[in-house]
Structures are given as structure tokens and as C-alpha cells.
Structure 1
Amino acid sequence: MSVHLAPPSTNSVSAALADAPIVAHVVRDGFVESVHHGTAVVTAPDGSVELEIGDSSGAVFPRSSSKPLQALAMVRSGLATDGHLLSLACASHSGEDFHVEGAREILAGAGLTEADLQNTPDYPYDESARIGWIASGRPRQSIAQNCSGKHASMLATCVVNGWDLATYRDPAHPLQVAVAETVRELTGAEPSAVAVDGCGAPIHAVPLRALARSFGRLAAATEGPEAKITRAIRDFPEYLGGTHRDVTALIRGVDGLVAKDGAEAVYAVGLPDGRGIAVKVADGTSRARSVLLAAVLRRIGVGSEDVLAVLEHQPVLGHGQPVGSVVAVGV
């Protein structure tokens, strides 16, 4: 029996995707092989739009770019974690040894074990760490998955408040209600959809410009839980990403900046003057994400050549050798 699926209605497609302009070319030996469409926005300290490529009013799932907001809700709810472990709470970590041990430390501090984690079991994200993990005969495990720091911290927040551990991923759970309230407050937007993220926790759809606005507010904070979050990210960027990650290099390379990359080609940045930046590649391909962000940063005069070069480094390979690159256009 054949099954025919109707094409999705145009109304169901976010404005950030439906009419997004071309923002990157994939160039192989001088020939444009593919193109990527995308949207980018820079918000001013007052939250207004300062620069826009495409329509940033359309809703997107921020994916892991939401993690600093989720961690903020945890801190507001009594999570006492600080420093490198709080940065790990905001992380999509690479699964290096220090990440895994950090997640275990969060769990142990709350009297919990790896068995309490409900994030999706996986191998480490970092290639070397993944190869070593598999070579040692270990299976996919929740502790190795890139969201284990967030999930360990969610569980620790539940312990502080006496909330149920078994249902902590449920959108109606007090923890997730607090996360949703924080998302509304920081973004200034009502989520238009709630879905299950890759790790199993809820994720909220907000306009791309609202995501940028939230990061500007975080980065400009000088006191309170917001400043605690940003201080942890700035002081321990290797826990937020990993030894070889571009988000780690970006945070290290620009004073006062906070940033978080996300799946499906989302990237969010906050600057200490209160400006926010968010980008989304329409097809979800990560190879154009950092290239688009670098072009926006270059346009507004943020970042050294060394830092921007890390973001722009997306070589196209032929027979294992660089024969081209992904380049930003129209930004």
C-alpha cells in the first residue's frame, strides 16, 4: 500500500525559513556547488532590531542555544552550582573526560547517580573522545551525551526543591514550568510551540529576534542569577563546548561575550553592551552556521581576525584535501 503525504502548508513554515535569503555558498574548486539559506539578526540593548538579514520575526526552536536560559531558571529555583559546573549546566559538551567527570560531580553533589539521568544515551561528541569510548567497549551512555551537564543540573534542582525526579522532563513539571517562565521573561515572547528536544527535555519556539534579545540581556547583566550564569560561561568556556569547539574559541577571544551553539544550525551571542545576535541556517546544516555568524560579527566590528578565522574555517574536501570552502554571501 502506498502512502501519499500532502505537502506542508506554507502557513506552517516559519518566516525565518520560508523566504530566507541565500547567506552562504559551498565552493568547490571555484564552482558554487550548493547554497544555504538563512536568517540573522542583531538586536540593540533596548531589544529593537539593529540589523536583519531575512525575516527574524519567524519562530524557531533555539535547540541547545536555550541552555543558558534553562540554567538561569535552575539557579533562580535554588541550584547552588557555580563556576565550571554551572558552565557545564549550560553546555552541549564534547564528552571529554573532564566533561563526564563534571556531570558526575553534579550528580554526586545531589546524592544522585548516572542511573537518574534521562537524557538520550550517546557516544561523546568529540571525535577523539568518541573513538576512545568505543574502543574501550563502553556502550552509548547518558553521561557521555552532550546534554548530561544540563540534565544532571535539572535533577539537582529537583532535589533542592523536593520535586519529583522521575517526571522532571514533563512540560507540566515545576522545573519545566520555571524554565518556560524564564524563556518568556528573557525573550519577551510567548512560545508558539513546545516540543521534545534531542535530549528529551522540552524546547520552546520563539522568534529569532527574541532569542537574540535574550542573549543581549544575559550578557549585559552585572548582578543576580543572570550575571552568575554569564560569569561561569566566560570563565569556563571549555566546559560549555570543548577543547576543539568554535564556541569555546569565540568566548575566549572576545571579552565579555557569551554564546551558545545549537542543533539545526542555530547560534546565539550576547555582547556586554546589551546587543544580541542570533542566526539560523534554514536547512539546519551546521557547516554554514559559524560562517554566517562570523559574517555578522565582522559586519558589526566584533572579534579579531584570529577568532573570526576559527568560525569561518569550514573547508570543502576533495580526496581528503581542502579544495574550497563555505563562504558567506549577502551579509
Structure 2
Amino acid sequence: MEPIVVEVIRGTIVEARHVVHAVAVRDARVEVAFGDPQLVTFMRSSAKPLQALPVVRAVPALDDEEVALMCASHLAVPEQVAVVRRILSDAPAGEDELECGPDPTPIEHNCSGKHAGFLALCRARGWPSSGYRLAEHPCQQAMLSEIAGAAEIEPETVPTAIDGCGVLTFALALERAAHAFSRLPTLEGGERVVAAIRANPQLLRGPVATDVLLITSLDGWVAKGGAEGLLCAASPDGLGVCLKVEDGSFRALAPAAAHVLARLGFAADALGGFELANSRGERIGELRVAQ
């Protein structure tokens, strides 16, 4: 099947087009695909719920907000930063140990929850915290093993690179990413991660983020977006979905995800009306899937 094309309409003119590849997988079988299900891309922040698994297994005392914040790409609002500080305090670890870089400060970096979780894992396992972001550190080796295990491939076959926050990011075919996400609820610690995210979706990002809207509109689902136009999601009954926008645009994700979910028989109206507005709040166009 051809890729999804999301058109950006201003007035009556198509001003831009975004090409989206998508796949839905159940029991390692492709149920529906748009474009290339074997397209390889980096999971970026979509990997965070999987990266939280070694942490919740090693630190079972983490509360739901802490687990959800480890999976977040947060906006550094006070209630989100407060949870990061709690993860660090419980580890215990200091803000000066965060290696995500300033944005504008390390604790306000949108990946600080994941990094705080990595420090908690280092404390629990007796690993040095210094350099926990580096590929050779036991923390990142554990993350590589976790991602490969979830995707059911060998770790040495997973290409890696450096993510925006300084840790490893892992490349998978879209079909393998969807498969890994489909297994999240059944992996050790996965039920805990899913429950925490679903109980605290507001900690993931912000109220209009596509992953948050999907979680709050579909009963039992979990989802996480990633940089460069990526979205992974899973249903409670073992369906995994992965979407990738070729040009990395986030604005195409919501209409494309709604299109895929509708094809799978799910109503996703809450993902948005896909209208475009200007700075005055006036409707000036829309996003739509080309027919």
C-alpha cells in the first residue's frame, strides 16, 4: 500500500505535503502497512517506555508519577520538574550528575526524567554514575539489550547513534518498532510502565501532544512520540503501531495516526479536528489525508 500523504491546505491551495509510513503489527504479523514497513529509523524518545523497564525492575519503590516522568519528553512546567527532583532524591543523585546538557538547565531538559531514571538504575546496580550516557557504560548496554530484546533481534544488529540528550538512540525497522511496542504490556515491568503512563498522561508532554491525546482517547492504549516525526503506540490486546513522517514534521502525525486507527477500526476523533489557525485564532486552513 502507498504511504499516507498529509496535505497542508491554506485557503483552497495545497501548500505542503508530508509523506508518512506506518505499520500495525500483532503477534509479529503485519496487519496493515502504508508505505515501507521495513523503513529503518531511530526510535528517539519513542523508546522511553522500553528504556524505563530496567529501571522499574531495579527500583520497584518508584511511584506512578516517577515512572511516567521517566518516559516523558516534558515541557519543564513546575509539576513535571518537581517529579524529576523526586526521582533524583529517591535515587539518591544530584542535579549535577545529570548528563543531558543544559536546556536551559539540565533538570529542565525535556529528557531529564529519563536521565534521572538512568541515575537511579546506576545507584541500584552499583554502577558509577559518571559517563552513564556513553555507549560503553553498563547503563547504555542495558538499554541496548532491552530494545533488542523487545524487538526480538540480536543487539549487535541494532544501529546506534547519539540522541539529542547525549545518550544512545537505537534504529529499528518500523515493523520491529511496532512489534517491540506491542510487547510492552507483557514484558517484565511493562504492565507497571503502561499503568503509570495511563494514570499520568499529562506528565508525558502537554495537553495537545498526539501521544497524550491518543492515550486519553483510547481505553487501555499507551503511546509515545519521538523526534523527527515518530509515533509508537500499543493497544491493551497486543496491537503495536508505528508511524514515521519522512521529513520529520510533527504536524502530520495526528491526521496520519487518526487515518491508521480508523483503518484498524478505532475511532480517533479526539486526536483533533486538524484545523490550522493563525496568530489571531482565525481558521485559515486544515491538515488532511490526501484521497
| Alignment match, 2:29 | 48
| Alignment match, 2:205 | 241
Structure 1 residues 78, 85: CA separation in 2 closer, same or farther (over 3 Å shift)? closer
| Alignment match, 2:83 | 102
TM-score, length basis structure 2: 0.93
Question: Is the 8 Å Cα contact of residues 27 and 34 (structure 1) preserved in structure 2?
Answer: yes
| Alignment match, 1:212 | 178
After superposition, what is the alpha-carbon deviation per residue over 1:20-56, rounded to whole angstroms, capped at 9, x for unaligned? 7352111111111111112000112x11101000111
The AA in structure 2 aligned to 1:100 is V
Question: Is the 8 Å Cα contact of residues 27 and 316 (structure 1) preserved in structure 2?
Answer: no
Structure 1 residues 244, 268: CA separation in 2 closer, same or farther (over 3 Å shift)? same
Whole-Å separation in 1 of the counterparts to 2:2 and 2:40: 13
Whole-Å separation in 2 of the counterparts to 1:242 and 1:105: 20
Identity between Structure 1 and Structure 2 (%): 38
Whole-Å separation in 2 of the counterparts to 1:56 and 1:280: 10
Q: Does 1:28 align with 2:10?
A: yes
Whole-Å separation in 2 of the counterparts to 1:224 and 1:109: 22
- Which of 109, 119, 137 aligns to 1:173? It is 137
Q: Does 1:193 align with 2:159?
A: yes
Structure 1 residues 318, 239: CA separation in 2 closer, same or farther (over 3 Å shift)? closer
Secondary structure, counterpart of 1:326 in structure 2: strand
Q: Please, which runs of 5 or more residues in structure 2 have no aligned partner?
A: none
Larger radius of gyration: 1
TM-superposed CA distance for 1:77, in Å, is 4.0
- Which of 62, 66, 69 aligns to 2:50? It is 69
Structure 1 residues 154, 20: CA separation in 2 closer, same or farther (over 3 Å shift)? farther
Structure 1 residues 282, 20: CA separation in 2 closer, same or farther (over 3 Å shift)? farther
Question: Is the 8 Å Cα contact of residues 59 and 208 (structure 1) preserved in structure 2?
Answer: yes
| Alignment match, 1:84 | 65
TM-score, length basis structure 1: 0.82
The AA in structure 2 aligned to 1:215 is F
Structure 1 residues 158, 60: CA separation in 2 closer, same or farther (over 3 Å shift)? same
TM-superposed CA distance for 1:294, in Å, is 1.3
Question: Is the 8 Å Cα contact of residues 316 and 326 (structure 1) preserved in structure 2?
Answer: no
Question: Is the 8 Å Cα contact of residues 252 and 287 (structure 2) preserved in structure 1?
Answer: yes
Question: Is the 8 Å Cα contact of residues 224 and 231 (structure 2) preserved in structure 1?
Answer: yes
Structure 1 residues 304, 194: CA separation in 2 closer, same or farther (over 3 Å shift)? closer
Whole-Å separation in 1 of the counterparts to 2:254 and 2:268: 15
Whole-Å separation in 1 of the counterparts to 2:31 and 2:141: 31
TM-superposed CA distance for 1:213, in Å, is 0.9
Question: Is the 8 Å Cα contact of residues 20 and 282 (structure 1) preserved in structure 2?
Answer: no
Structure 1 residues 20, 178: CA separation in 2 closer, same or farther (over 3 Å shift)? farther
Secondary structure, counterpart of 1:166 in structure 2: coil
- Which of 239, 260, 265 aligns to 2:229? It is 265
Question: Is the 8 Å Cα contact of residues 41 and 212 (structure 1) preserved in structure 2?
Answer: yes
Question: Is the 8 Å Cα contact of residues 261 and 268 (structure 2) preserved in structure 1?
Answer: no
Secondary structure, counterpart of 2:251 in structure 1: helix
Whole-Å separation in 1 of the counterparts to 2:5 and 2:279: 23
TM-superposed CA distance for 1:205, in Å, is 0.3
Whole-Å separation in 1 of the counterparts to 2:32 and 2:268: 20
| Alignment match, 1:6 | none
| Alignment match, 2:257 | 293
- RMSD of Structure 2 on Structure 1 (CA): 2.0
1:123-202 alignment runs, 5 A limit: 140-190=104-154, 191-202=157-168
The AA in structure 1 aligned to 2:145 is E
Secondary structure, counterpart of 1:200 in structure 2: coil
Structure 1 residues 314, 62: CA separation in 2 closer, same or farther (over 3 Å shift)? farther
Structure 1 residues 32, 188: CA separation in 2 closer, same or farther (over 3 Å shift)? same
Question: Is the 8 Å Cα contact of residues 64 and 92 (structure 1) preserved in structure 2?
Answer: yes
Question: Is the 8 Å Cα contact of residues 4 and 35 (structure 2) preserved in structure 1?
Answer: no
| Alignment match, 1:118 | 99
| Alignment match, 2:21 | 39
Whole-Å separation in 1 of the counterparts to 2:253 and 2:53: 25
